[in-house]
Amino acid sequence: MGCSLAASLVDKLKEAKRKLAPDVLFIEASEMVTSQELRNVTAMGKRDVRYETGPLITLINGVEFEFLWNERRRLVSDQVNGADWVIVNRTEALDNGQLARLREMLSGCGDRLLTVQGLDRSAIESIAAAIGL
């Protein structure tokens, strides 16, 4: 993550905390940012504003995962390994073989791996319950 992008994110975190005081704030990072980079940047803002960071979630589009794994394995591995939770959505679009390969590729996640069909309100509620939000 570049310095200007990191500074911008920190500024937005501070602004949101001061002006909106949200109970929960979700940050969707670019697919080019690793979990550790995001963790480092969110920690930078804590020097000026008090907030807690919750679990870092890597959200994976199940339909595109195999392609991304083959094209950007190191980046995807860094995102997955640095996450507290790995959530794979759109699993309803995968056949049994694809789902089995995906689970094998992500076998190192263990209990941190959740799969959901779609990403509607019920899926989000089940995710929140599973990760304790």
Query: pLDDT tens track of the chain, all 133 residues?
Result: 455 666 787 788 888 888 888 877 777 666 677 778 887 877 777 777 777 777 888 888 999 999 999 999 998 898 898 888 999 989 999 999 999 999 999 999 988 998 888 778 888 888 888 888 7
> Pairing relation of β-strands 57-61 and 85-89?
parallel
Cβ-contact 26, 119 below 8 angstroms: no
Question: Cα(77)–Cα(117) distance, rounded to whole angstroms?
Answer: 22
> Which three-class secondary structure state does DSSP give residue 68?
helix
Cβ-contact 39, 13 below 8 angstroms: no
> Which three-class secondary structure state does DSSP give residue 39?
helix
pTM assigned to the model: 0.77
